[in-house]
Amino acid sequence: MRTPALLLLGAVVGIGAAVPATSVAAPTTRSAGADAGCATPLFDAPVRAGDARREDPAGFRTALAREPGSAGTVAAAAGDRTLWLDRCGRAFYRDLAPDDLPGTPAAAAVGEDVDVLALHSSPGSDRTIYLDLDGHVATGTHWNAVWGIDEVDTAVYDFEGDLTTDFTEAERAEVFALWEAVAEDFAPFDVDVTTADPGPAALTRSSTSDREYGTRVAIGASPSGIGACGPCGGVAFLGVFDEVGEGIHDDLQPAWVFTDLLGGGRDGRIVAEAASHEVGHTLDLQHDGLDGLEYYSGHGRWAPIMGAGYGRTVTQWSRGDYPAASNTEDDLAVMARGGVAPRVDDHGGADDPTPLAKRGGSKVADGVVGTSADVDAFSFALRRAGTRRITVLPTGQASNLDVRLTVLDAAGKRVARVNPPVPAGDDTEKQPSPAWLAADTAGPLPAGRYTLLVEGMRAGGASRPGWSDYASLGGYRVSVAPLG
């Protein structure tokens, strides 16, 4: 890709003389070639951050000054060839599309009563990640200036041809799986991942006192006019989730995911990898690479979300605790600072267990393992001895949680501990709901009270790399059922 010529403004605009990226609300129509996004462009075309740092140090420093909260990230990630600065100096990632993709096992069918464009992971939350699947047109944004077009027009998510939201059964299943996978990635946070249009107020952050905000992820085939773009699987401005200012926040939206370069959207969980990754950038995350490569594609059955885990069954947030990691930033802490607060813990520990609730002939509860230190406890009683099956099933078809279940009797003595080993081998495609992430045990139990402990675990070891317990997090259902 050519390196755009740099406009040397360093002598004119230095650090401390920076102006806000924009100071007025974005008009709905604006010439794409005009100064969209800022009063004083720094560069005459988008430029790689590393090229700007080398060829125009003063301009690069000014660009850093225009990155509220993200200057440190830009400075740290400037060597990443996918990190760019737009004409205004705002940083964005052009994420490369994968060269090849794994197989695409079909997602589970979705019931007829489910409206896949009305899904919510945490309705009522102040923060929103809007997976926009019904088409989106951007005008007057920084993206219009980046690509030099008046309208960036993304079509409806579609892989069976009619380009309407009248989805086929297969499309409904993949849309559901897409949403489910992104919701799972953000389960540790107080944020609503939704496919329903939440309206502008739920996304825009108009002032620092505005507590309701978020990001839109426009998901569909590459809009015409954006050129080869890498070619890109997705793009996002850096650290803009909590950007303040009606026009400013909106002008740096949305994040985009381009399904035509991700297997046409035929596997919702593949698209979800890109969607969570782009949202990660809006929350100020940089890439998890390896030895100079921007994207670490993982090992065995695992990859980091901020790498490229398209074929791995387990993709998790990371703090670089894998061999030769390029980036040891604490993803969860960075995102918490970037706009999404950790979810309030839903269940106490062993000294404060939640009683399981009767449902049919079983006793059940739902929960979320929200941190690596989180141990959720549940209790149940047996009036008479009997055989019981106790299961903890991670939520959905793209879980990040590798469960360990511990069963204690009334005296606190361990009755059982279950955490199936992860089978050796390299994933060639994502496995939906593998049994080795779940915990399942059955046997005779004497009458009495029992406590169940549910936590996320690491996998692998020195001889076989797996994952740490850092982000072995997510939703689950625990159940106790009579057997035989």
Taking the C-alpha atoms of residue 292 and residue 133, their distance in angstroms, rounded to an integer, is 34
Residues in contact with Zn ion, shown as a per-residue x/- string from 43 to 82 under the rule CB under 5 A: ----------------------------------------
Query: Least distance in Å: CB of 229 to Zn ion?
Result: 13
Give 94 or 216: the residue with its C-beta nearer to Zn ion: 94
Other beta carbons less than 10 A from residue 99's beta carbon:
6
Query: Least distance in Å: CB of 259 to Zn ion?
Result: 16
Taking the C-alpha atoms of residue 328 and residue 296, their distance in angstroms, rounded to an integer, is 13
Binders of Zn ion among residues 79 to 118 (CB under 5 A) are: 93, 95
Give 183 or 274: the residue with its C-beta nearer to Zn ion: 274
Query: Least distance in Å: CB of 93 to Zn ion?
Result: 4
Reduced to 3 states (helix: H, G, I; strand: E, B; else coil), residue 275 is helix
Residue 57 φ/ψ region, left for φ over 0, alpha for ψ in the -120 to 50 degree band, beta for the rest: alpha
Query: Least distance in Å: CB of 291 to Zn ion?
Result: 17
Query: Least distance in Å: CB of 44 to Zn ion?
Result: 25
Query: Least distance in Å: CB of 104 to Zn ion?
Result: 22
Give 51 or 95: the residue with its C-beta nearer to Zn ion: 95
Give 231 or 420: the residue with its C-beta nearer to Zn ion: 231
Query: Least distance in Å: CB of 294 to Zn ion?
Result: 8
| Residue whose pair of structure tokens reads 């050519």 in the numeric block | 2
Q: Does 380 bind Zn ion (CB under 5 A)?
A: no
Taking the C-alpha atoms of residue 221 and residue 234, their distance in angstroms, rounded to an integer, is 10
- Which residues in 61-76 are b (16+ Cβ under 10 Å) and which e? bbbbbbbebbbebbee
Query: Least distance in Å: CB of 277 to Zn ion?
Result: 5
Give 230 or 349: the residue with its C-beta nearer to Zn ion: 230
Give 289 or 434: the residue with its C-beta nearer to Zn ion: 289
Residue 146 identity? V
Query: Least distance in Å: CB of 94 to Zn ion?
Result: 8
Give 203 or 306: the residue with its C-beta nearer to Zn ion: 306
- Return the structure tokens found at 20: 């806000």
Residues ≥6 apart with Cβ < 8 Å to 126 = 190, 211, 212, 213
Q: How many residues bind Zn ion (CB under 5 A)?
A: 2
H helices present in 154-260, as ranges? 169-185, 246-251
Taking the C-alpha atoms of residue 223 and residue 143, their distance in angstroms, rounded to an integer, is 12
Taking the C-alpha atoms of residue 421 and residue 459, their distance in angstroms, rounded to an integer, is 7
Give 93 or 130: the residue with its C-beta nearer to Zn ion: 93
Backbone angles phi, psi at 51, to 5 degrees: -65, -40
Taking the C-alpha atoms of residue 394 and residue 353, their distance in angstroms, rounded to an integer, is 19
Give 93 or 310: the residue with its C-beta nearer to Zn ion: 93
Taking the C-alpha atoms of residue 110 and residue 169, their distance in angstroms, rounded to an integer, is 8
Q: For residue 86, how far is the Cα from the chain centroid?
A: 24
Residue nearest to Zn ion as judged by C-beta position: 95
Q: Which residues of this chain interact with Zn ion, rule CB under 5 A? A: 93, 95
